[in-house]
Amino acid sequence: MDKKANVVGWFEIYVDDIDRAKVFYQTVFEISAWNDLSNEQLKMFAFPRTENAPFSAGAIVKADFGKPGVGGTIVYFNCIDCGEEESRVELAGGVVTQSKFSIGEFGFVSMVIDTEGNMIGLHSKD
């Protein structure tokens, strides 16, 4: 593995209702387009990504083999100011479980639960 590559290359957030989840993530992160990677076995919509840009790519997924829930994997989304995205969470049907707080020299984090019961983190330097 290239030592300069990001360790995480892909993430999946499992959901029960793909349409409801799309609305939640579109609202919170102001996403205008999704990449539909669905096939016969699963419904999958990838978050927009830029080729050769930093950070990891991923998708929301509806599949028999993956179930949503709090306490498993937590994905942290990069934000300019996580308070901005946090302010849209409840409007999108989610729950803010921990408002923006300092993590010292590493910036700030907000913890929220999406419409499918997944806990996600919002991270920003400011």
118: in domain? yes
97 inside domain: yes
For residue 29, being part of any structural domain is answered with yes
Count of domains in the chain?
1
DSSP state of 8: -
Task: Give yes or no for residue 1 having a pLDDT over 60.
Answer: no
Q: What is the CATH number of the domain that holds 37?
A: 3.10.180.10
Residue 4 falls within a domain, yes or no?
no
How confident is the model at residue 102, as a pLDDT?
94
Give residue 72's pLDDT.
74
Asked, for residue 23, whether it belongs to a domain, the answer is yes
| Distance, C-alpha 85 to centroid of its chain | 11
Say what the pTM is.
0.84
Which range of residues forms the domain containing residue 96? 10-124
Does some domain include residue 15?
Answer: yes
Place of tokens 């849209």: 88
Q: Does residue 109 fall inside a structural domain?
A: yes
Q: Is 1 domain-assigned?
A: no
CA-based end-to-end distance of the chain = 32
Judged on CB neighbours under 10 Å (0-12, 13-18, 19+), 89 is: buried
- pLDDT digit string, tens, across residues 53-101: 887 889 999 988 888 888 778 899 999 999 999 999 999 999 999 999 9
Q: What is the pLDDT of residues 26-45, one digit of tens each?
A: 999 999 999 999 998 899 99
